[in-house]
Amino acid sequence: MEVRANLVPDNSGYKKVKFDSLILLPYRDADLSTVLSQISTIFIKSYSPGSLATTSFRGTPANHTQVEWNGLSLSNPMLGQSDLSQIPVSAFDEIEVLYGASGLTKTSGAFGGVVNLVTNPDWNNRIHASIAQTFASFDNYTTEAGFIGGTSSFQSHTRLNFTSAVNDFSYYDDFTMEKVTQHDAEVLQYGITEEAFWKLKDKHLFTARVWYSYDDRDIPPVVEGSATYYPQKMLNKTLRSIIEYKLVERSWNFSLKTSLVNQFMNYRNDSMFINNDHNCYTSFTSARFSWTGVKNLTIKPGLDYTYDYVKSDAYSGVKTRNTLGFYLEAGYRFNDHIKSQLILREDYLDGAFMPFIPTLGLEYKPFNKINLYLNANASRNYRYPTLNDLYWELWGNPDLKPEYDNGLEGGITYNYPSPSGKFFIETALSGYYSWMHDMIVWSPVPVNPSVWKPQNVSEVNARGIEASLNLKWKVSKLQITSSNNYTFCRSTYQKTTSPEDQSLGKQLIYIPEDTYNGTLNLSCWNFILGYNLTFVNKRYTSPDNQSYMPWYSLSNIIFGKSINLHNFVISLQVKVNNLFDVDYQSVTNWPMPGRNYSLTVRFEFKR
């Protein structure tokens, strides 16, 4: 029986969770926000179908989660964050979630963590072709196709996805007190990725990747009767490319990666006479060397260089940014039980050295035969202001300091694969405490309350607990899998500047204290029945915690059947989302759909 361990204990002292392609299979018609909200501990703040979806990871604001595609940041350098609703799950194979300080192996500045979307070659593959069509409620259609082919030394992955969504769901309007239909929520999205992997003598690995995506959408209205709607549109065209070379020797290896990204965005609001183009070019180059010449010691020095070039209608003139990052990672294995990993980072940003980032992690495995791991780390992290924070015309603040975070984290993971291979259990419990300072908040300027400027005003403490339990059990023909995640998060304002401000010690807005998600899948004779439950507790909507959105829970079910015919697989999948037709809002005044359905037909050819 195949064991799909979620928790990856390879980073000593740091938490990392992986979701592989089998776990992601039922979500291939969805976007990243849907999958993360249903199976990970990251909280997703989703406004409305077809609209923005952002993250809150470990009680941090959205710009503290970095989303990457094979190590390349997907964030827009202007905003410093990405819209998860624009990332289709079908564009990659696996998701790695790097919690807190663990993300420092990838980048600085993500206090919450890093979500890395990964595609790796399977050298045993010859031909794997697939095409799937999804028909869903509210005139939503998704087509996704892939061709993966090659030899034991060369593999090519080609993927296409196309989504057209009208999102004309109906909902109850509390203001007009009648059922209305959502409008101006259309999305047209397509993308193509090509990835080629070439291996030479098991020593050299060349990788080239290109991803083009196009996303044209309306910005939907809030609840119809509550406000006058003025049509707004957003167009995103993005081209990303990565070339990577890796050389593997016996006691050392070396990798060099270089990438180019162009992100074009247009925002249009005719009623306000706004029609702005934002064009960002980013070049990212990363070199890593890894040396294991001395027993028990691994040393990985590295250099990262990022160049951002932004031409935006919202900035006066072209703005650029150079970031040179010095990186050193040292892993030391004291004995069979104790390992440690030290990460040092120093960034040189536009001609100035930024504060030093040291992080130390420890792993303790008390027993030889029991897969029990204790992890702890202490970290420091810095996040630099976004280009919007610095340069937005009239309101940007070039004097901003970086935000910084001191964090402590500890956790315990345990897994047990039964000798017969019929049963597998995995559980993890972790706790963290994070002291965030100089947090940048756009707030009114005292001399002119109608002008908002970003300022280093806020201090936030975030602490929480994450617990997960994954099970896999085979009872004759029936296979049962279940995953469960619970998080507790207290993220509080620690500083106030106004005498009447009542927010001191109160929970940050739109960050729930408790979330839970669980899935239970039963499969037998190529039938699959899955149930997913997400629970989101109360979210405060004002910093004084006087107003709030009540808790809600959503249930989804999935039923599928696949038929194998020689090299062909035909599968059908039916999903019912929001099974109990809960009338809810996630963000105040943004409508959400009730019960809705989708049907996916998939053809696969494998040889």
Residues that bind another protein (CB under 8 A): 172, 174-175, 177, 222-223, 226-228, 271-273, 394, 443-444, 446-451, 497-503, 509, 533, 535, 541-544, 546-555, 580, 582-585, 588-589
Q: How far is the CB of 531 from another protein (least distance, A)?
A: 9
Residue 293: count of CB within 10 angstroms of its CB: 10
Local structure of 362: helix, strand or coil: strand
421 Ramachandran zone, left/alpha/beta (phi>0; psi -120 to 50): left
In the bound state with another protein, the residue whose beta carbon lies nearer, of 547 and 564, is 547
Q: How far is the CB of 498 from another protein (least distance, A)?
A: 5
Q: How far is the CB of 466 from another protein (least distance, A)?
A: 21
Task: Tell which residue, 120, 108, 26, has the closest CA to residue 572.
Answer: 26
In the bound state with another protein, the residue whose beta carbon lies nearer, of 332 and 535, is 535
Contact call for residues 19 and 468 (beta carbons, < 8 A): no
Q: How far is the CB of 449 from another protein (least distance, A)?
A: 6
Contact call for residues 160 and 190 (beta carbons, < 8 A): yes
Q: How far is the CB of 594 from another protein (least distance, A)?
A: 10
In the bound state with another protein, the residue whose beta carbon lies nearer, of 143 and 553, is 553
Local structure of 107: helix, strand or coil: coil
In the bound state with another protein, the residue whose beta carbon lies nearer, of 158 and 397, is 397
Beta strands in 59-118 (DSSP E): 65-69, 72-73, 94-99, 113-118
Alpha-carbon distance 54 to 61, whole Å? Answer: 9
500 class by beta-carbon count within 10 Å (0-12 exposed, 13-18 middle, 19+ buried): exposed
Q: How far is the CB of 557 from another protein (least distance, A)?
A: 11
Secondary structure tally for the chain: helices H, strands E: 3, 34
Task: Tell which residue, 200, 49, 44, 25, has the closest CA to residue 112.
Answer: 44
Alpha-carbon distance 514 to 118, whole Å? Answer: 29
Q: How far is the CB of 584 from another protein (least distance, A)?
A: 4
In the bound state with another protein, the residue whose beta carbon lies nearer, of 7 and 436, is 436
Q: How far is the CB of 185 from another protein (least distance, A)?
A: 15
In the bound state with another protein, the residue whose beta carbon lies nearer, of 387 and 508, is 508
In the bound state with another protein, the residue whose beta carbon lies nearer, of 291 and 535, is 535
Please report which helix (H) or strand (E) contains residue 278, including its range: strand 274-291
Contact call for residues 144 and 131 (beta carbons, < 8 A): yes
Q: How far is the CB of 549 from another protein (least distance, A)?
A: 5
In the bound state with another protein, the residue whose beta carbon lies nearer, of 487 and 532, is 532
User: Would you give the distance in Å from CA 437 to the centre of its chain?
Assistant: 24
In the bound state with another protein, the residue whose beta carbon lies nearer, of 125 and 541, is 541
Residue 154: count of CB within 10 angstroms of its CB: 15
How do beta strands 274-291 and 297-312 pair?
antiparallel
Alpha-carbon distance 454 to 449, whole Å? Answer: 13
- Can you read off the two tokens belonging to residue 474? 């085979």
In the bound state with another protein, the residue whose beta carbon lies nearer, of 48 and 102, is 48
The amino acid at residue 317 is G
In the bound state with another protein, the residue whose beta carbon lies nearer, of 320 and 497, is 497
**Which residues have a Cβ under 8 Å from the Cβ of 534 and sit 6 or more positions away?**
37, 38, 515, 516, 517, 553, 554
Q: How far is the CB of 398 from another protein (least distance, A)?
A: 16
* Rg (alpha carbons) of the chain, rounded to whole number: 24
In the bound state with another protein, the residue whose beta carbon lies nearer, of 97 and 509, is 509
Q: How far is the CB of 533 from another protein (least distance, A)?
A: 6
Q: How far is the CB of 80 from another protein (least distance, A)?
A: 22
Contact call for residues 466 and 429 (beta carbons, < 8 A): yes
Q: What is the 3 state secondary structure string of 417-449? A: ECCCCCEEEEEEEEEEEEEEEEEEEEEEECCEE
In the bound state with another protein, the residue whose beta carbon lies nearer, of 340 and 588, is 588
Task: Tell which residue, 459, 409, 444, 458, has the closest CA to residue 429.
Answer: 409
Q: How far is the CB of 55 from another protein (least distance, A)?
A: 21
**Which residues have a Cβ under 8 Å from the Cβ of 335 and sit 6 or more positions away?**
none
Question: Across the chain, which distance is largest between two alpha carbons, in Å?
Answer: 74
Q: How far is the CB of 204 from another protein (least distance, A)?
A: 53
Alpha-carbon distance 400 to 415, whole Å? Answer: 45
In the bound state with another protein, the residue whose beta carbon lies nearer, of 419 and 449, is 449
In the bound state with another protein, the residue whose beta carbon lies nearer, of 105 and 182, is 182
Cα distances (angstroms) measured from residue 298 to each of 302, 340, 357, 366: 13, 10, 19, 22
Please report which helix (H) or strand (E) contains residue 229, including its range: none
**Which residues have a Cβ under 8 Å from the Cβ of 81 and sit 6 or more positions away?**
54, 55, 62, 63, 65, 75
Q: How far is the CB of 590 from another protein (least distance, A)?
A: 9
